[in-house]
């Protein structure tokens, strides 16, 4: 969608004033974020997003940049002036190559103070146009910068670009667009109608509404350390409606020695989450990194290895059939390929097929790092992820899901959003599965970055759930803890509590109007409804699921 209708634009601005309570009370007049993305190679490029943004005057004046003095290769480039610190710059461009069949094209940015090695990528093909979408945020202002597009290896590739766009968003504009999406995608209008036994409307009836559960899965990893730790369990249950076991389902835990299968820890943890109606991801069946493959498995080959993997997957899924909403089938397969090297290129496809047969109701995921965290990792660019998913689907894999780990250092929010936009074109469930911030960063800054990532994930309409990677251990957490060992919140924990409070409907009270109706706008989930009129009282429950239409609920006294 390029040009939003004037009526929609007016609605959006009015919505901002009414729902966001901007201090200035001035209607929003900034850009609306465009989630458009394309994964197919096209004969002709689409028009530029945002009419080109600040690149609209460059349509006939694309420069050339010497990629590497040693190669003598020149690439398309833009000279940019007066880029500002902290601004979210959203980049998009169509790319075509000649000289090779395909190439990973990377957008880079050189400023006065720093070089950003990657601000967007695309696997471009010869003879058609491919869509690159990315973005960046500068650490310091730059009066003069160069944005250029290069082949990721040393091959001499002729690169053409078209419909380039660079759209800046201030922090306030970015936040307003996020809040708009949250209100549009995570909430819904409700009208409660109150009448007497004859159907006559009752004006002035007291109405109280209370949200009792949330529709959006938001949770964290847990480990065996939660077993028997009642304060930790209470802390967890008060906050989260989803969980994932950190290591307790992994093969090197459940079968450290051949034939000695032990699911005791997983069973005990599953009992805990069941008792509190917490949905749980299954993580993981196989891990392609040989370091995390059982020692005895690494020494197997051929038929012995095939028999071992078949026994493992069937043992795990037959025991836990319909217990876990997801299974990460072959973890981090864009970076490692232990099983495919040993068993052939169709090994992962067979894992997916076997898992689906064993538990057809579970959604089967690829799970990968450095997809939304950065685009500098050539193994896990968004297009590499898409190509692998399409290979699996073409081979017959069923119910695939997209798992984005999200182990961030400094988040690049425009890139994160752009990557999810492209992945969303596949129409598959997308989850942020292992969110944390690097322990190399101080705890206060960790909290700032965590809030940025969580707001970005929750506001994106294609993200179906968020999991933190914050299982608590006596010696800390993998990268980031939410609390200390006494369950006192750290800054990151304060951020989580703040957002959980913000993303739920507080208790609402009011009275029906002259039509006998009371309306409110609530987050998706389950609700209790209490209605009283004179000496008559009734309570009920209702569900608020995603939908564009107002939810109508009738009560008779």
Do strands 525-533 and 536-544 pair parallel, antiparallel, or not at all (unpaired)? antiparallel
Would you state the pLDDT for residue 269?
Answer: 98
Using one digit for the tens of pLDDT, what is the confidence trace for 162-217?
999 999 999 999 999 999 999 999 999 999 999 999 999 999 999 999 999 999 99
CA within 13 Å, CB half, 40 = 6
Residue 11 clears pLDDT 50, i.e. is over it:
no
Would you state the pLDDT for residue 64?
Answer: 57
**Among 83-97, 149-163, 232-246, 318-332, which is the least confidently predicted range?**
149-163
CA within 13 Å, CB half, 72 = 0
Query: What CA–CA distance (Å, rounded) separates 487 from 500?
Result: 17
**Among 64-68, 149-153, 426-430, which is the least confidently predicted range?**
64-68
SS3 113: coil
Among the listed residues 246, 255, 332, 456, the single catalytic one is 332
Contacts with 324 (C-beta within 8 Å, 6 or more apart), sequence order: 280, 281, 282, 359, 362
Using one digit for the tens of pLDDT, what is the confidence trace for 32-59?
999 999 999 999 999 999 999 999 876 4
In 3D space, the residue among 48, 51, 52, 79 whose CA is nearest the CA of residue 63 turns out to be: 79
487 φ/ψ sector (left φ>0, alpha ψ -120 to 50, else beta)? left
Would you state the pLDDT for residue 12?
Answer: 47
Query: What CA–CA distance (Å, rounded) separates 486 from 493?
Result: 13
Residue 370 clears pLDDT 50, i.e. is over it:
yes
Among the listed residues 246, 405, 434, 451, the single catalytic one is 434
Residue 20 clears pLDDT 60, i.e. is over it:
no
Would you state the pLDDT for residue 541?
Answer: 95
Q: How far is CA 18 from the centre of its chain?
A: 28
**Among 63-72, 389-398, 485-494, which is the least confidently predicted range?**
63-72
Would you state the pLDDT for residue 13?
Answer: 46
Write down all domains in the chain, each with its CATH number in brackets: 49-64+71-169 (2.60.120.260), 187-210+505-556 (2.60.40.10), 216-503 (3.20.20.80)
Calculate the average pLDDT of the chain.
Answer: 92
Q: Are 436 and 407 in contact (CB under 8 A)?
A: yes
CB atoms closer than 10 angstroms to residue 205: 25
Would you state the pLDDT for residue 75?
Answer: 86
Whether 332 sits among the annotated catalytic residues: the reply is yes
Report the pLDDT averaged over residues 426-436: 97
- Could you write out the three-class secondary structure of 257-280? CCCCCCCHHHHHHHHHHHHCCCEE
Query: What CA–CA distance (Å, rounded) separates 386 from 41?
Result: 13
Whether 255 sits among the annotated catalytic residues: the reply is no
DSSP codes joined into one string, 83-103 = E-BT-EEEEEEEEEEESSSEE
* CA angle, residues 530, 534, 537, in degrees to nearest 5: 30
Report the pLDDT averaged over residues 389-405: 93
Query: What CA–CA distance (Å, rounded) separates 150 from 160?
Result: 10
Provide long-range contacts, Cβ within 8 A and 24+ apart, for 474-479. 474/225, 477/436, 478/246, 478/436, 479/407, 479/436, 479/437, 479/438, 479/439
Using one digit for the tens of pLDDT, what is the confidence trace for 74-111?
689 999 999 999 999 999 999 999 989 999 999 999 99
Query: What CA–CA distance (Å, rounded) separates 542 from 537?
Result: 17
């Amino acid at each position: 969608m390029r040009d939003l209708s004037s009526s929609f634009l007016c609605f959006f601005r009015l919505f901002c004033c009414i729902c966001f309570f901007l201090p200035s009370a001035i209607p929003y007049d900034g850009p609306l974020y465009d989630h458009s993305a394309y994964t197919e190679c096209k004969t002709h490029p689409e028009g530029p997003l945002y009419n080109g943004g600040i690149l609209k005057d460059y349509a006939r004046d694309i420069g050339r940049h010497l990629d590497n003095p040693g190669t003598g290769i020149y690439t398309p480039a833009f000279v940019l002036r007066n880029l500002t610190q902290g601004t979210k710059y959203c980049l998009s461009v169509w790319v075509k190559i000649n000289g090779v069949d395909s190439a990973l094209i990377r957008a880079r940015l050189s400023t006065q103070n720093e070089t950003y090695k990657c601000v967007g990528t695309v696997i471009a093909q010869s003879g058609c146009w491919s869509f690159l979408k990315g973005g960046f945020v500068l650490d310091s202002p730059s009066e003069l910068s160069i944005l250029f597009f290069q082949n990721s290896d040393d091959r001499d590739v002729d690169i053409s670009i078209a419909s380039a766009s660079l759209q800046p968003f201030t922090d306030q504009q970015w936040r307003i667009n996020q809040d708009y999406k949250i209100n549009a995608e995570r909430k819904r209008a409700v009208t409660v109608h109150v009448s007497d036994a004859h159907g006559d409307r009752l004006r002035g009836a007291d109405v109280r509404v209370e949200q009792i559960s949330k529709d959006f899965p938001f949770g964290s990893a847990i480990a065996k350390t939660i077993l028997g730790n009642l304060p930790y369990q209470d802390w967890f249950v008060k906050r989260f409606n989803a969980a994932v076991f950190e290591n307790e389902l992994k093969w090197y835990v459940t079968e450290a020695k051949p034939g000695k299968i032990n699911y005791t820890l997983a069973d005990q943890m599953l009992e805990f989450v069941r008792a509190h109606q917490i949905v749980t991801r299954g993580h993981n069946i196989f891990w392609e990194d040989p370091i995390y493959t059982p020692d005895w498995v690494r020494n197997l080959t051929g038929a012995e290895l095939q028999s071992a993997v078949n026994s493992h997957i069937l043992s795990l899924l037959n025991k836990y059939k319909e217990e876990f909403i997801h299974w990460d089938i072959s973890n981090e397969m864009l970076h490692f390929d232990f099983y495919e090297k040993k068993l052939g290129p169709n090994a992962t496809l067979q894992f997916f097929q076997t898992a689906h047969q064993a538990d057809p109701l579970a959604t089967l995921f690829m799970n990968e790092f450095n997809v939304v965290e950065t685009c500098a990792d050539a193994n896990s660019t968004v297009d590499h992820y898409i190509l692998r998913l399409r290979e699996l689907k073409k081979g017959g894999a069923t119910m695939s899901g997209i798992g984005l780990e999200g182990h961030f250092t400094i988040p690049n929010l425009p890139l994160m959003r752009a990557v999810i936009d492209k992945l969303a074109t596949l129409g598959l469930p997308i989850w942020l599965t292992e969110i944390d911030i690097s322990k190399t960063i101080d705890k206060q800054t960790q909290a700032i970055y965590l809030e940025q990532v969580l707001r970005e994930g929750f506001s994106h309409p294609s993200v179906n759930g968020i999991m933190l990677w914050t299982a608590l251990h006596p010696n800390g957490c993998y990268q980031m803890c939410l609390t200390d060992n006494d369950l006192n919140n750290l800054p990151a924990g304060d951020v989580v509590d703040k957002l959980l409070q913000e993303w739920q409907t507080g208790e609402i009270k009011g009275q029906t109007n002259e039509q006998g109706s009371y309306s409110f706008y609530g987050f998706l989930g389950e609700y209790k409804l209490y209605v009283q009129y004179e000496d008559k009282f009734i309570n009920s429950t209702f569900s608020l699921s995603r939908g564009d239409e107002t939810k109508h609920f009738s009560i008779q006294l």
